[in-house]
A and B are shown apart, each in its own frame.
Chain A
Amino acid sequence: MTTTITKTVKSAGGDYSSLSAWEAAQQGNLTVLDEIHEAQCFGFVDTTAVTIDGWTTDATRYIRVFADPSAVATLPYTTSGYRLEMSGAQPVVMVFEEYTRIERITVQATVTAGSNCGGMEFSGAATSDMRAIGCLVRGVMNGSNPNGQFGFRVDAGTAKFINCVALDYTDTGGSPPNPGFYTSGGTLYAYNCLTYNCRRGYRQDGGTFIAKNCLYDRGAQTTHEGFVGVFDAASDYNASTEADAVGTHARNSQTFTYVNTGTGDFHLTSSDAGARDFGVDLSADSIYAFAVDFDNVSRPQGSAWDIGATEAAASGFDAALMAAMDRPRPDIVFDLPQMVASGMAPSDRVNP
């Protein structure tokens, strides 16, 4: 029977003080050990780049990196969760291992020059199943010409990006332009992803790119492209601020409504008319079936799935509050006696 080995990554008192050290310590042949190895990451800034390589894994004996529920990726970008933040000339997370799952962590890549850096890069063997689920990658493009940066990239193998968010891979004037999601080889599945304020949203440059329910919003970019390249015919139900979304049910030249773009809260609101209720149900998808959003909130909340990473709540209940309820919020106190004393009725709405 397969055993799961879970180690903690914490700034103090954990098994490891960086994800990189966990990876170095745990490398092994999981198929022989008959083990799943997990890294449970708690809230702090981890400033050592991570490469996952040198293991032996398979579909049932795999590597799992995940944020503790108290430290998951959030919108707006959190300063209390587990974050990998670094600068330099390499991807912050580089995955060579065929069966690796990365869940709900936050990455920030600061780049001042060079190319082919970025947030997460996947480069596995032809037979592989690499996953990033509910992850957020933010670029900080400094200097005049960092080019070819990326939020998420597949170079070889098969990787699935579910409910992932890429922010701020902005136009630096360099070439090639910076995309949120990029495939140079292999197969990339992007399901219910969001790119906001990126020079390019989804770029197929090589390999196969399948995008479903993906949203591109140019944000503050004056030069911008949502979907670039030749996408697989299975791509559909995508939406864009530009006239380039792919699929027969594409929603082009749309305006999207978020909770608060000023603070970086890119949850769709219940009044959104661009993406809300226009997605396709992927709960029985043959490649990757799921029915939650970036915040682990059930899909759908309305009459149908939303396009993008977050599911707008049905009117009267806001997604931001639902996201807040998904993680500990000591700053929110529900004082029931006081609520009753103030005349609050059970049917009253709660607004954040």
Chain B
Amino acid sequence: MTPWYQDPVNFIAEWLRALLTSWGLAPEAVNFILTVLGAGILALLGMLWVIFLIWYERKLIGRIQDRFGPNRVGPWGIFQPFADMLKIFVKEYITPAGADLVPYNLAPILSVGSVLLIWAVIPFTMTIMGVNLNVGLLLIIGAGGFSALAILLAGWGSNNKYAMLGGFRAIALLISYEVPMVVSLLIPVVLTGSLGVNDIVKAQSVPFLLTAPVAAFIFFISSVAESGRAPFDLVEAESEIVAGFNIEYSGLKFGMFYVAEFLHAFTISLLFSTLFLGGWRGPWAEQYPMLGFVYLVIKSFLVYFVVILFRGSLPRFRIDQMMNLNWKLLTPMALVSLIITALVAQPLASLPVVRAVALFLTNAAVMIIFLGWAGRQSSRKRPIVGKPRPLAVPHSDEKLPVEP
């Protein structure tokens, strides 16, 4: 057996397995208990982690906006989220009249669950992962479908027109950005030859950020969009539709949506660093697996910092700008880059260094061509193609104010 300091989590798991077996339990029962225990601990740690994330993000957003951020409760305000948490625990649940009860109450649970589902396939070290699924990447995409469903249920079940509008916007966003995201995720799959997440990490002797920068760029933007944060927070645009799909929720039910949003923001950073920055890879990560966890957390926080910087500095997209970005830039770019990657990577598979350089150069060319085109498009004045059609017309009986 390996010494405990090399791989503590598996050491404890093996010790527990030996203990339970010595109590006379059947091997299947021991497996079942360990699986349930592992899943429970992973989900619990994920949700507790959010407490820290909320403090970190509020502090950082405060600094970006030249404020202090939370600074009263504890040193540097670090206990502020605990106070918020206690407050939200004791708040009253208000159920709106005419709400569709089952969808209304199911939505917050589903929204947290869909994010935690992704954690099941992320390899935290070389040896620690929820499940080493050979279709892990598909599960990540499927989890996005569940989060869309959760938002739709919330928007529908609340019996509120603003919730409904927010739900519609969220679904339009999620369905559209799933297309470039899935295509860009295919590029690591082409380079690896496997859909398993740990296989993708193991294949990154050169991080895929360097061999597939276009895919990384598209995946980053579309996953920020999937998390529904600024600049893609038009699903909860306060100035237009009050609070979007979660307007009718209060107390811990709202808290669940809040937790899901913060957890999703960190999960996309975790995913980006796993798929494009080499995950747990680093010096001596294979001898001492726990070191891999440290590398993963450092890389994730680098990405998370950029996500927060996005949120703190970019204004909100209008819905047509969001759709234009997706369908006119990201989707064609993802398709072209997938074809080019397949054409370049396959013949050069036996020459890893040449392949990496060739991939980097072709990706850079794709990036320059597409971004240059998009820049010219966005700086061009859009022609007026027809008369403006007001959506709301005055009733024929109504007297219009006479212009002076």
Whether both chains belong to one complex is answered with no
Task: Enumerate chain B interface residues (CB-CB to A < 8 A).
Answer: none
